[in-house]
Chains A and B, each alone.
Chain A
Amino acid sequence: MGYFAGLIFVLAALWLGLSGIYKPLLLILAGISILISVVLASRLETVDREGSPYGRTIPILSYWAWLLVEIFKANWPVIKACVSANLNINPAFVRVKTRCESDLAKTIFANSITLTPGTVTVEVEGDKLLIHALFEEAATPASFDEMDHRSYRAADGKRKEELAA
C-alpha cells in the first residue's frame, strides 16, 4: 500500500512540475493518467517486501550527500588518466566481501561502487562482489570498507530487528 501512495505522490509531482499549466481540464487529465499508471503498475506485480523503505529516507539521503562528495573526489584520478600522455592505469579485478544483508543494502552498495568512477561492480554473488578497478593500488578491500559500513548503516541499520519482529 505504501508503494502505491509513494507512486501516486511521485507521479503527481512529476505532472505538476513538468506541465506548468494549472487549468481544471489539465488537472482532470492528470488524475486520469495517474490512475491508468497505478492500474498498470499494480498489474505488473513488481511490489516486494523491500519495495517501499520510507522509514529509511533520512539515512539514505544523508548517505547520498556523502556519496556525492566521494564521487567528485574519485573523478579526479580518472580524468588525469584520460588526458595524460601515457595511459597510467593498472586495471584489475578485486573481490570484496560485504556485510550488507538485505537486497536493498546490497543494491545501494553495488550501485555506489559503480557510480564512483574508477570502480565498476561486475557481479554480485551472495555477499561477495566482483569489482573491476581502474587502479589496482587504489582498490584494496580496505578502501571499500567505509562505503560498505555507511551503506549498511543507511539501509540495513535497525532493519534486522524490524524483520525479525
Chain B
Amino acid sequence: MTEIAAVAIIIAIGLTLIRALMGPTLYDRVLAVNSLGTKIVLFIGFLGFVLGRPDWLDIAVLYALINFVSTIAILKFFRYRSFQVPLHRRPVPKAPTVQGRDNV
C-alpha cells in the first residue's frame, strides 16, 4: 500500500514542480517550493517504509526544518534585499503598550 502512496506523492511533486516552473509571480514559486518541501517530507517517509528502513525519518525531520527556514529566508530577502535586517521587534523604551507592526 505504501508503494501506491509513494507513487501518488511523486505525481503530486511533479504537478507542484510545474507550478514552481511556470508560476507567474515570485510568490507562486515560493508557495510551490514550500508545498514541494512538505510533499518531499511525506515522500521520504513513505519511501523509508517501502524499503523497510524507517530510520530515514531523521532526514525527513531535517527537511521539514530546512523547508521552513528557507521559505522565511527567501521572503525576507525579497522584501528587504538583505539578510542583515533584524526581524524581531525591538523593545519600545517608553510605552510598552504600543503594538508595533510585525515585520514579515
Instruction: Verify whether A and B have any Cβ pair under 8 Å.
Output: yes
Contact among A18, A46, A103, A124 for B61, CB-based, below 8 A: A18
Inter-subunit contact A18/B58 (CB<8 Å): yes
Residue ID in chain B nearest A18 by CB atoms: B58
Q: How far is B102's CA from A38's CA once the two chains are assembled, in angstroms?
A: 26
Is the contact region of chain B dominated by helix, strand, or loop, or is it mixed?
Answer: loop
Inter-subunit contact A126/B99 (CB<8 Å): yes
Contacts of A126 in B (CB 8 A): 99
Contacts of A18 in B (CB 8 A): 58, 61
Inter-subunit contact B88/A46 (CB<8 Å): yes
> Taking the nearest CB of chain A, how far is it from the CB of B44, in angstroms?
15
Residue ID in chain B nearest A126 by CB atoms: B99
Give the residue among B58, B88, B99, B102 with the most A Cβ atoms within 10 A. Answer: B99
Contact with A along B60-101 (1 / 0, CB 8 A): 010000000000000000000000000010000000000101
> Taking the nearest CB of chain A, how far is it from the CB of B98, in angstroms?
11
- What number of B residues sit within 8 Å (CB to CB) of A? 6
In chain A between 30 and 59, which residues have their CB closer than 8 angstroms to a CB of chain B?
A: 46
Q: How far is B61's CA from A103's CA once the two chains are assembled, in angstroms?
A: 29
Contacts of B102 in A (CB 8 A): 124
> Taking the nearest CB of chain B, how far is it from the CB of A160, in angstroms?
13
In chain A between 118 and 133, which residues have their CB closer than 8 angstroms to a CB of chain B?
A: 124-126
> Taking the nearest CB of chain B, how far is it from the CB of A30, in angstroms?
15
Q: How far is B58's CA from A124's CA once the two chains are assembled, in angstroms?
A: 36
In chain B between 27 and 62, which residues have their CB closer than 8 angstroms to a CB of chain A?
A: 58, 61
Contacts of B101 in A (CB 8 A): 125
Residue ID in chain A nearest B61 by CB atoms: A18
Q: How far is B88's CA from A124's CA once the two chains are assembled, in angstroms?
A: 16
Contacts of B99 in A (CB 8 A): 103, 126
Q: How far is B88's CA from A24's CA once the two chains are assembled, in angstroms?
A: 39
Contact with B along A97-109 (1 / 0, CB 8 A): 0000001000000
5 closest Cβ pairs, A-B complex: A126-B99, A46-B88, A18-B58, A18-B61, A124-B102
A-B contact pairs, 7 of them (CB 8 A): A18-B58, A18-B61, A46-B88, A103-B99, A124-B102, A125-B101, A126-B99
